[in-house]
A and B are shown apart, each in its own frame.
Chain A
Amino acid sequence: MIKKILNNFQVGVLAVSSFITSIVVLLIIIFLFKEGSGVFSKSLLEDGYVLVVNSRNTVNSIAPKDIKNIFDQKIISWKELGGADSAIQLFSIDDISEYYSEEQIGSDLEYMDTCINNYIVNHPSVLAYFPKKNIAKKFNGKEIKVGTMGLYEFVKGREWLPTARPVVQMGILPLILGTLMVSLGAILLALPFGLVTAIYMAEIAHPVWRRIMKPVIELLAGIPSVVFGFFGLIVIVPMVQKVCHIDVGETALAGSIVLGIMALPTIISIAEDAIRNVPNNMREASLALGATQWQTIRSVVIPYAKSGIWAGIILGVGRAVGETMAVLMVTGNASNMPTTFLQPVRTIPATIAAELGETSAGGLHYSALFALGCVLFLMTMVLNVYVQVALKKKSK
């Protein structure tokens, strides 16, 4: 009787704890997506500021992208925004002293609001940008609605300027490309070396040599990533700079090399296990037919271990995609669209790590970084699902 109660209790504890763990994991993911989704509902205008036009202006809202173009003087006429054929006259609160004397504004800026209002009323083609608190009590201007950002703009936008004024630019395409590029480069570098080493260790190396090599390579996995980053900064970056004859060594290539080295132990260790798990009778069957050792490895052992080797590669990629510190230290972190491996790039994890400290909680920038986290999560999840499928295929 007591035994039964005890058993039920133990089973219950297991069930409850696994249930709670699952819920917590789910909650974390929900939290991530909830915070991230904020980026699509918040105004892109700098917090606390408004954009105002003359009340007779027919334009009611301006897309965030156009606002940037207006302030960059790429759009100069209201006509381009669907309004009257007149030049846009920009007004910023910093310019107020050019138009009104100190007496008019008042020594304590007490008439500032009225001055701004007057200016807007007197200038039909004005586009004024000033803090919300300076809206006069008897306000005669018209506030412009700034649209929120769509998913498409977020993912396809080519500019990542999260602190730009008056509107931020949050296109994450350069960050996605930067992440993919650094990871792809890392895998292209790590794959041949990793596979060759795994095959050598599993099939060719003397057991004594193997027993020395394997722990040494696995030791590589235990080195903190910041140390790899430091190594990259001191050794790889100058090397890249010298070998490629470029001005700045902090490039995607440097990131790929450092990440490649970091992905090696995972790839080697898992691929080696997969190769060693090939039943010996497969090798014997091949050798007994007069195949050489290399023919046996190429035509029997590797095809047999293929899915396991793939799992190793993908776990290695997963590490590369999510790696933050080492990449942050060696890739230069310029958020422009990468075109070659010899340019500085900025990856998603590096962006989050570098910028989160500067954001205000709940703000647009903060939400955007969470949304970046969601993108990264989805990228690695696709990889992980692929690993699961590959492993399942193997076990069949």
Chain B
Amino acid sequence: MAQIETKDLNFYYGQAQALRNINIAMEKNSVTAFIGPSGCGKSTLLRLFNRMNDLIDGSRIEGSVMIDGADIYARNVNVEDLRKKVGMVFQKPNPFPKSIFENVAYGLRVNGISSRSEIEGIVEASLQSAALWSEVKDKLNKSALQLSGGQQQRLCIARALAVAPSILLMDEPASALDPISTSKIEELIFELKKQYTIVIVTHSMQQAARVSDRTAFFYMGVMVEFDDTTTIFTNPKEERTLNYVTGRFG
């Protein structure tokens, strides 16, 4: 059974329709890349999976989004619990202006974990998983804002991992980073997919090709094609997909 599945999904910002009739299913422990030109709706779709778009006034959703077989837009869903299960990493690294330790511990504290030893254990494990531990273990009490951009982004990943999600949404996680930091993030995604289902929005076709198992191409709110990454990049069925991945437009 697919872990994330949408059925006839339409989404509107006020009058403007941002997503049209999306039907997509993503398997557990897979990496799915969303590609497409700016404004195609790929980030919007990603943010529907943890209901981040709830915050936008006048937005409206039709159809359903199922995670682990349950409709996350049903009335009785607790949004906070959903977001614990579906972690998110944003385009621009956004650590809190707190210490490195407190950044990772934040998600634990807001979820009611107060045991110091338990928090310390999870913080270390999360920083290990995000491949940041060796770089920051001696300065956990320093401000997170002193880290480089790449380190900040891995800290944000560690922060998301600390609350033990099963799905990790990444909204162009490397677009603000230099090539070396980018390759570190990509290696990390490779490691993380053993334990997490990952959905990544990216502008970089190479990145999609390198890290993902399946790729979905979006264009003007429509999912044009969704297939194995190799198929999308070598032998797409749709001409628009071919044009995009070969760089002829977008």
Interface residues of A (CB under 8 A from B): 207, 279, 281-292, 295, 299-300, 303-304
Q: Which residues of A contact B83 (CB under 8 A)?
A: 287-290
Give the Cβ gap from B108 to chain A, nearest Cβ, in Å: 9
Distance of A118 Cα from B94 Cα, bound (Å): 92
Give the Cβ gap from A107 to chain B, nearest Cβ, in Å: 89
Contact B81 A281 (CB under 8 A): no
Q: Which residue of B lies closest to A295 (CB)?
A: B110
Contact B90 A303 (CB under 8 A): no
Chain B 147-162 per-residue mask, 1 if CB under 8 angstroms from chain A, else 0 = 0000000001001100
Give the dominant DSSP class at A's interface. Answer: helix
Contact A287 B106 (CB under 8 A): no
User: Counting chain B CB atoms within 10 Å of each CB, which of A282, A291, A295 scores highest?
Assistant: A291
Chain B 42-62 per-residue mask, 1 if CB under 8 angstroms from chain A, else 0 = 000000001010010100000
Q: Which residues of A contact B50 (CB under 8 A)?
A: 288
Chain B 99-119 per-residue mask, 1 if CB under 8 angstroms from chain A, else 0 = 000000011011100000000
Given A207-B57, A282-B96, A303-B97: A288 in contact with B52 (beta carbons within 8 A): yes
Say yes or no: is B214 at the interface (Cβ < 8 Å to chain A): no
Cβ-neighbour of B110 out of A207, A282, A299, A304 (below 8 A): A299
Q: Which residues of B contact A279 (CB under 8 A)?
A: 94
Say yes or no: is B33 at the interface (Cβ < 8 Å to chain A): no
Interface residues of B (CB under 8 A from A): 50, 52, 55, 57, 80-81, 83-84, 87-88, 90, 92, 94-98, 106-107, 109-111, 156, 159-160, 163
Distance of A282 Cα from B96 Cα, bound (Å): 7
Contact A286 B110 (CB under 8 A): yes
Contact A290 B55 (CB under 8 A): no
Q: Which residues of B contact A283 (CB under 8 A)?
A: 55
Contact B88 A288 (CB under 8 A): yes
Cβ-neighbour of B94 out of A281, A291, A299 (below 8 A): A281
Distance of A289 Cα from B50 Cα, bound (Å): 10
Give the Cβ gap from A275 to chain B, nearest Cβ, in Å: 15
Contact B87 A288 (CB under 8 A): yes
Q: Which residues of A contact B52 (CB under 8 A)?
A: 284, 287-288
Give the Cβ gap from A200 to chain B, nearest Cβ, in Å: 17
Q: Which residue of B lies closest to A300 (CB)?
A: B96
Given A290-B80, A290-B84, A291-B80: A285 in contact with B90 (beta carbons within 8 A): yes
Q: Which residue of B lies closest to A290 (CB)?
A: B84
Given A284-B88, A287-B52, 12 more pairs with CB closer than 8 A: A207-B57, A283-B55, A285-B159, A288-B83, A288-B87, A288-B88, A289-B87, A289-B111, A290-B110, A292-B80, A303-B97, A304-B97
Q: Which residues of B contact A295 (CB under 8 A)?
A: 110
Give the Cβ gap from B83 to chain A, nearest Cβ, in Å: 5
Q: Which residue of A lies closest to B169 (CB)?
A: A288
Cβ-neighbour of A285 out of B57, B81, B109, B156 (below 8 A): B156
Given A207-B57, A284-B52, A284-B90: A289 in contact with B97 (beta carbons within 8 A): no
Q: Which residues of B contact A303 (CB under 8 A)?
A: 97-98
Distance of A283 Cα from B57 Cα, bound (Å): 15
Contact A292 B110 (CB under 8 A): yes
Given A282-B96, A299-B106, A299-B110: A289 in contact with B84 (beta carbons within 8 A): yes
Q: Which residue of A lies closest to B87 (CB)?
A: A288
Which 6 pairs show the lowest CB-CB distances between chains A and B?
A: A289-B107, A290-B84, A281-B94, A291-B110, A288-B88, A290-B83
Give the Cβ gap from B126 to chain A, nearest Cβ, in Å: 12
Contact B159 A289 (CB under 8 A): yes
Distance of A274 Cα from B116 Cα, bound (Å): 32
Q: Which residues of B contact A281 (CB under 8 A)?
A: 90, 92, 94
Q: Which residues of B contact A282 (CB under 8 A)?
A: 94, 96
Distance of A283 Cα from B106 Cα, bound (Å): 13
Distance of A299 Cα from B97 Cα, bound (Å): 11
Distance of A282 Cα from B106 Cα, bound (Å): 12
